[in-house]
Structure 1
């Protein structure tokens, strides 16, 4: 039985490697005149398609008075258009204008702080609530979702990160034209209705997910402390004061500037005819005028010159993280960091899990990852939760010991081969579905500059040597480049 299992794994890895290599022949690229990039892959295994739209616009592209707006737009672009999500847009539009005027006045008065007229603010809040209630009579809730669901669409969703924003759907192949009609309408005619009520939803999301969650609060503080200059410091959801001052006018300006075909990467994977699909997309999206790309982020994080330590006190169990600045996705050393991540933190056979969780039993869990983005230099991170009665200090010392071993003891060839095997297994799992492949195509085209990053990845990782790992560990895992963050229990001694 074991021999058969090993044979199946080998077969899977072999087919994955061949599939990845064959992507060069399978992926069809088509760039439209307005700048929209299409990545198409025919897969006739089932009569379905995955359609992903990735906009090269994330929270890293926001100005100081726009922070949180990309995440807010993720919510707002489900609200409909001039024809979807409304019973009568002609009647709704004047109310939306009055709502915006009232909200702008309220925000301006609040911005005066102690000099503001509190009675005026209260009156404007009442007016705003009344106008929103009146406008709600014209709203058809979740019409996008209903249209897709009635036509077999599943997994309709979106996500925003520091690096970009993605909208996705899986649907029957014969409903692809419905997707083209809906998404082209949204790109041209989106209406950001219910903006201020949705803004309250986002504020509550922040309260629950960050302000009331000590571990997430530590993470947010840790990242903000790690980037003193670069906009990666700012949370994608925005700080609470950012969200409170977002307006529909700002969001509309941001949307019309950046969320056009010039920023869009579209992957369509599944039971399609490539030529017919290109014609279909051209027919629906080709006439949309391009906007502009966000200006490149020119801020460069200065070299860290000493260890930074962050402690948060909370009524929560202790946790800790260690981080180091590292290069962005296309740098040669980033491949070395990927290998280090696999060796240290991928699964129960990884070094840190075996040492901290199984052998020493000083931690309940441990993870290794890169964050908070990929387009620009980022952080290599180790996160762990101490097992009582052990402390964050004990866990920190154990982690640093394992990092020091990477500098002095060459990684064995068999461990490097295990990394390659795991990478191929993960790629097989992710690319085995239409959605997984569409996700990879749009992600790497956006952050690495080309989807071919995924076809070259295994070869570049395979070229990483034990000497490379030692060199990178010595260069980056230094005290002056190190950050340590930990959560301590109030009234306790979790250090």
Structure 2
């Protein structure tokens, strides 16, 4: 989701981000290497630091059933090292990893047997293979230098070191003293060229546990997963970024390695560098280390499957022993599509700040909700505009749902006031400019827009489009998209609830709501 702002920009940021003729001016320079790698550089000399983001244009949307969660798994695996890092003796590791692969395939086949209709509950083979796999993995550990990649960055002044994965992309990022940037170039090019997915099966178990904690045992995570699964019947946004549990049990190292070599290549990557550097120096440095990394032999294929038009409201309930919650999702266009800018305005009108429509009505005036949030998405493909709400005891999901539709209908009929539109635009742009004050924040926004649209300067175009949004545009978009047939409604209810719509929040001072 993209939010940008021009108000007081000259005071907020150094000179490379400044107001001129109604645009955000960013003095970014770009270069594309022969292997397809795209480089974006912003020179900032006001502190001797630099931030780098390596963005691969691949996320969970590029997976398929059977290997869901692979992009997120690779987020973890690329910290495991290469033949040059993370090991005391790579040659000694090779035969052990071959044995691990063989056992991994056998384990997958054994687990698959347990899923067949004639399976009668014998887990001896699965348990035996897991034990054998653990034994070989323990033998490999004596050659592994744990977290060497991570520790090398930190020992040399690295900060904000991390990685993240979404439906649409995977990014690895770090901030460094400017005089250490060559170390970054060596390490990142090394793992782009030849990562070793060591400790794959034990790390797969770690990710499985992460899924259990953040989705299966988290009410909000479970609600979101079920909403997306119901709203997207064919499009790739229907499965979770962390992957389905059954896939995490059986995906093999070779499958994930093949996925890496097709998608995690220079021709599918963007590097953003912001800080105390010179553009020409960065071309030379990145070229020195990344030029030799070959593009993928099989170019990443486009995602062809699209979501058909929804032909009726979908409603579902998720049972969980927690206070009730609700999320409503309406299908909306992909990032950069027609009316994207209007959805950004609508999300702010509805829930940004204490004067927003839903907050003022549900939280302050009627006091039937403890929280409410509306969000539009800037995604590669058509996605969802969502509203999350938690009822306030003793009020019910039915009450807050009706109140949300009432406020949307008012906005459909009357549209926003001129003051509301101006305030909303200022809020959006202000948030974006604040985000670009840091080197890392600037790098994130540049690489993200470049990866999603193919042109980082779309930042300015989107701002210009938002400035033109009028009250009639808001009414038109609400009338077109915010309709019953286009929405999916998911309720979080207690297991003993008789009716999701009548589920009430619990007042902790009074016990269960009646």
TM-score of the pair, normalised by structure 1: 0.95
In the TM superposition, residue 351 of structure 1 has moved relative to its aligned partner by 1.1
2-side partners of 1:8 and 1:126: how far apart?
Answer: 62
Q: Does 1:389 align with 2:394?
A: yes
List runs of 5+ in structure 2 lacking aligned partners.
1-6, 505-514
Q: What residue is the counterpart of 1:419 in the other structure?
A: 424
* CA distance in 1 between partners of 2:209 and 2:21 (Å): 42
- Alignment partner of 2:359 out of 324, 335, 353: 353
CA contact under 8 A between 1:109 and 1:117: conserved in structure 2? no
Q: Does 1:327 align with 2:333?
A: yes
SS, match of residue 181 in structure 1: helix
Secondary structure of the equivalent of 1:480?
Answer: helix
Which piece of structure 1 moves more, 383-392 or 24-33? 24-33
* Matching residue of 2:39: 38
More divergent stretch after superposition (212-221 vs 130-139): 212-221
Matched, 1:300 2:309: no
Shift of 1:9: 8.8
Shift of 1:41: 0.5
1:84 corresponds in structure 2 to 85
Give CA deviations for 1:7-51 in whole Å, capped at 9, x if unaligned: 979954998651897766611110000000000000011000010
- The answer to whether the 8 Å contact 1:109/1:116 transfers is no
CA distance in 2, matches of 1:10, 1:149: 34
Which residue in the other structure is 1:367 paired with? 373
1:494 alignment partner, one of 493, 500, 503? 503
Instruction: Please say if residues 340 and 469 of structure 1, whose CA atoms lie closer than 8 Å, have aligned partners that are also in contact.
Output: yes
Aligned to 1:406: 411
* Equivalent in 221, 233, 254 of residue 228 of structure 1: 233
* Greater mean alpha carbon deviation, residues 17-26 or residues 61-70: 17-26
How far apart in 2 are the matches of 1:407 and 1:297?
A: 34
Calculate the TM-score normalised by the size of structure 2: 0.91
Partner of 1:339: 345
1:278 corresponds to which of 267, 274, 283: 283
Deviation at 1:298, TM superposition (A): 1.2
Q: 1:178/1:418 Cα in 2 relative to 1: closer, same or farther (>3 Å)? A: same
**2:3 counterpart of 1:28:** no
How far residue 410 of structure 1 moved from its aligned partner, in angstroms, is 2.4
| 2:111–2:250 Cα contact (<8 Å) kept | no
What RMSD, in angstroms, separates the aligned Cα atoms of the two structures? 2.0
User: Match of 1:261?
Assistant: 266
CA distance in 1, matches of 2:57, 2:165: 10
Once residues 163 and 9 of structure 2 are traced to their aligned partners in structure 1, the CA distance between those partners, rounded to angstroms, is 33
Residues 49 and 276 in structure 2, CA contact (< 8 A), matched pair in contact too: yes
Contact 2:342 2:469 in 1 (8 A): yes
Q: How far does residue 348 in structure 1 lie from its aligned partner after superposition?
A: 2.0
Aligned equivalents of 1:14, 1:401: Cα separation in 2: 44
Tell whether the 8 Å contact from 1:58 to 1:70 is kept in structure 2 after alignment: yes
**What SS is found at the alignment partner of 1:111?**
helix
TM-aligned CA deviation for residue 246 of structure 1 = 1.2
8 Å Cα contact 2:333/2:339 also seen in 1? yes
Whole-Å Cα distance in 2 between the matches of residues 187 and 406 of structure 1?
49
The counterpart of 1:429, out of the listed 416, 428, 434, is 434
Range 100-109 or range 263-272, more displaced: 100-109
Aligned to 1:247: 252
Q: Distance in 1 between matches of 2:278 and 2:204?
A: 41
Report if aligned partners of 2:327, 2:386 keep a CA contact under 8 Å in 1: yes
Q: CA deviation at 1:141?
A: 0.9
Partner-residue secondary structure (3-state), 1:112:
helix
Q: Aligned partners of 1:21, 1:452: CA distance in 2, in Å?
A: 14
Secondary structure of 1:138's counterpart equals coil
Alpha carbons of structure 1 residues 406 and 202: separation in structure 2 relative to 1, 3 Å? same
Q: Determine if contact 2:75/2:164 at 8 Å carries over to the other structure.
A: yes
Distance 2:483 2:169 in 1: 31
1:30 is paired with a residue whose SS is strand
Once the 2 structures are TM-superposed, how far is the Cα of residue 339 of structure 1 from its aligned partner?
0.4
In structure 2, distance between residues paired with 1:21 and 1:173: 33
CA offset at residue 445 of structure 1? 0.7
Distance in 1 (CA, whole Å) between partners of 2:461 and 2:480 is 25
Residues 1:249 and 1:20: Cα distance change in structure 2 (over 3 Å): farther
User: 2:173 maps to what in 1?
Assistant: 168
Q: Per-residue deviation at 1:120? A: 3.0
User: CA 1:75 to 1:10, structure 2 compared with 1: closer, same or farther past 3 Å?
Assistant: closer
What is the number of residues matched between the two proteins? 488
Deviation at 1:256, TM superposition (A): 1.3
Residues 323 and 127 from structure 1, CA distance in 2 versus in 1: closer, same or farther, beyond 3 angstroms? same
TM-aligned CA deviation for residue 237 of structure 1: 0.5
Contact 1:320 1:486 in 2 (8 A): yes
